Amino acid sequence: MSSLPRNKDTTRDEFIFYSKRLMRLLIEHALSFLPLKSVTVETPQGTTYEGKRFHRQRITGVSILRAGETMEQALTAVCKDIRLGKILIQTNHDTGEPELHYLRLPKEISEDYVILMDSTVSTGAAAMMAVRVLLDHDVQEDRIFLLSLLMAEMGVHSVAYAFPRVRIITTAVDKRINEEFHIIPGIGNFGDRYFGTD
């Protein structure tokens, strides 16, 4: 399933299909790390079942635009009535530094578990800025889950070093990035391939 999106000859339809499958698996796995409490329910047969339920806190999804937005559909498919926020961070080509251009977060996000989504993370600069924005809005560091389909080792180390209590969940980690900060072997420009703008 990882080979098809990485293949440069994969059609756009197949790229979207297999990327969505990976996103769904990634989000389902991430949800398993949320705190659960024991619950007893009565079955239609008049017996009881001992199960688990997510504790009452809310979950909010926040996508790092534009490629992180592709993960929203998978998130809303498995989390009913989830609130969504968006962050646009772009790299300044003169300085090489990330810059915040747009921010829309739901009200009272400070008590939520936040699923921060970006399809790929190379250096980790945009992800770290997004985490800082969430922390500035009083979200607790250990309630932030960074989800990405593909990360470079450098990005994983950068985020983990800066924010050790943020949970990082990905489907793959590639060893290096090139001079243009593209992940190698990578997946190409995810947003361009997904939206057909390459």
Q: Using one digit for the tens of pLDDT, what is the confidence trace for 16-59?
A: 999 999 999 999 999 989 888 899 999 999 999 998 887 767 89
* % of residues, the chain, pLDDT over 70: 98
Work out the average pLDDT over 167-184.
90
- Of the chain, the end-to-end C-alpha distance in Å amounts to 22
Cα–Cα distances in angstroms (integers) from residue 33 to residues 83, 113, 142, 166, in the given order: 19, 11, 11, 12
pLDDT score at 56: 67
Cα(48)–Cα(51) distance, rounded to whole angstroms?
A: 10
pTM, full prediction: 0.90
Domain ranges of the chain: 4-195
CB 21 within 8 A of CB 171: no
Work out the average pLDDT over 86-115.
87
What's the CATH number of domain 4-195, 3.40.50.2020, 3.60.10.10, 3.40.50.300, 3.40.190.100? 3.40.50.2020
With b for 16 or more beta-carbon neighbours within 10 A and e for fewer, the 122-159 pattern comes to: bbbbbbbbbbebbeebebeeebbbbbbbbbbebbbebb
Question: In which band, very low, low, confident or very high, does the pLDDT at 179 lie, cut at 50, 70 and 90?
Answer: confident
